Amino acid sequence: MNDSPALVIFDLDGTLVDPAGSITGGIAHALTAHGLPVPDQASLSSMVGPPLVESLARLGSVPAEEVPGVVHTYRRHYVTAGMAESRPYPGVPELLARLRARGLRLAVATQKPQTLAERLLEVHGLDACFDSVHGAPDDETQPPAADGKAGMVRAALEENRAAAGSSVMVGDRRYDAAGAEANSVPCIGVRWGFAPAGELEALALVALVEDADELESAVIAVLAGAVAEAAPC
């Protein structure tokens, strides 16, 4: 490692926290409330990761003028019910504590709005584990930032004064890998999230892990320089 502080950047939904259907169920609830068709479960699951506005536009069945109302309905339902349904994935709280005990800095980079991301971490008692949290603007009706996850990863690096060579990204979707790659940061994929079959295997990840224990080993190996240039798993 170099003299920069070692930093682990985590995605949130699908990586640290299991939404337990609160995201997909909430989107279905919002679409139904606005009299719009609800897609199949696979399509709903694919909406976990990218910005909600982007996912709604991709559906093709949500008129542009309906998007702000659908987003508002979804977020209201998420705050009042969905957030409480979510839970940290098994072993994640203990993993974060162990990484902190090793002296590593931890950050979150998520497409979830900043305020909601901070509140979700607080609800689950994970907020104290992180040195910084980097989310999307709270006004989701605005177009997503052009650089998406890459900008959030870059912000995490800058705020924590970390260099790409002493950092690693952890995520469950291709958006996480793309954000890491744009910043020359290696990415570890977790299998317990929302990636459709084959998505993670097609990416240039330094590791693909099954549980929190494997994730800890992979993080330490990457930061120690034990993993060479990224190659498809």
Q: Kindly report the CATH number assigned to the domain that includes residue 60.
A: 1.10.150.240
> Do residues 128 and 213 both lie within one domain?
yes
How many domains does the chain fold into? 2
pLDDT of residue 13: 94
218 with 200, same domain: the answer is yes
Whether 178 and 92 share a structural domain:
yes
The answer to whether residue 11 is catalytic is: yes
pLDDT at 143: 63
Instruction: Among 51, 85, 119, give the residue marking a domain's end.
Output: 85
Same domain, 59 and 74: yes
Is residue 160 within 8 Å of residue 7, measured between CB atoms?
A: yes
Of 31, 53, 85, which residue constitutes the final position of a domain? 85
Q: Which residue has the higher pLDDT, 45 or 156?
A: 156
Q: Let me know if residue 1 belongs to a domain.
A: no
pLDDT band at residue 12, thresholds of 50, 70 and 90?
very high
Instruction: Assess whether 119 and 66 both reside in one domain.
Output: no
> Domain check: are 14 and 27 in the same one?
no
Work out the pLDDT band at 18, boundaries 50, 70, 90. Answer: very high
pLDDT of residue 43: 87
- The stretch 87-112 carries a mean pLDDT of 96
Per annotation, catalytic residue among 3, 11, 127, 176: 11
Is residue 139 among the annotated active site residues?
Answer: no
Query: Average pLDDT in the 35-64 region?
Result: 84
What pLDDT score does 230 carry?
Answer: 41
Residues 108 and 155 grouped into a single domain: yes
Query: Residue 230 falls within a domain, yes or no?
Result: no
pLDDT band for 11, please (50, 70, 90 cuts).
Answer: very high
Quote the domain boundaries for residue 130.
7-18+87-223
- Within a domain: residue 219? yes
Q: Is residue 233 part of a domain?
A: no
- The pLDDT, as a whole number, for residue 58 is 80
Within a domain: residue 217?
Answer: yes
What is the structure's pLDDT at 1? 43
Instruction: Provide the CATH number for the domain around residue 137.
Output: 3.40.50.1000
List pLDDT tens digits, range 191-233. Answer: 999 999 999 999 999 999 999 999 999 999 999 985 544 444 3
Regarding whether 110 and 62 lie in a shared domain, the answer is no
Which contacts (CB < 8 Å, 24+ apart) does range 122-129 have? 123/83, 123/84, 123/86, 124/17, 124/86, 124/87, 124/88, 124/93, 125/93, 126/16, 126/17, 126/88, 126/92, 126/93, 126/96, 129/93, 129/96, 129/97, 129/100
In a domain? residue 31: yes
One-letter amino acid at 101 equals A
Asked whether residue 178 carries a pLDDT value surpassing 50, the answer given is yes
